[in-house]
Amino acid sequence: MRGEPSVRTTRDGRGMEGDRYALGTGHWSDHRWEPVTLVSIEDLQMAGARLGRPLDPAAMRRNVVTVGVRLQDLVGRAFRVGEVTLEGTRPCDPCRYLEERTTPGLRQALAGLGGLRALILSPGVMRRGDPVGLLDGDQ
């Protein structure tokens, strides 16, 4: 996880406390999106190789950066990060807005690697280094 050592989700499931979407100040705040987005460091490294330069995970506008997690395997599945239970809903494909704010060619480089959108099923606290794990019984 990037950012603060620990982050609490909002009680109403709107997102992560202090996040631009939980505050209603994000670029797409007028849309109903999944409140948590995850991206894997390995996918960012692969996209950086496609671009010929490293990508800064903090610039990718995702809430959580994972290590060693195949996010595409979490679509349609419930999983935990720390105390928080999430459900992976769909890929988080990079958009033109992200590319405009970061790096030309980013959308093409991140094609299929943009991360995962997730719903908050049970709020709580996530801490840097918390493992990502499927819920018991979800194979």
**How does pLDDT run across 87-108, given as a tens digit for each residue?**
999 998 887 777 787 788 878 8
In a domain? residue 16: yes
In a domain? residue 134: no
Asked if residue 137 has pLDDT above 60, the reply is no
How many helices (H) does the chain have, and how many strands (E)? 3, 8
Nearest CA to 35 among 17, 49, 48? 17
pLDDT for 3 = 44
Token output for 126: 């996530």
Please tell me the distance from the alpha carbon of residue 14 to that of residue 70, in angstroms, as a whole number.
Answer: 25
In a domain? residue 139: no
In a domain? residue 82: yes
Structural domain boundaries enclosing 18: 6-127
In a domain? residue 70: yes
Q: How many domains does the chain have?
A: 1
In a domain? residue 133: no
In a domain? residue 72: yes
In a domain? residue 137: no
- The alpha helices in 52-115, defined as continuous H runs, are 96-101, 106-109
Q: Enter the pTM of the model.
A: 0.78
Average pLDDT over residues 109-130: 89
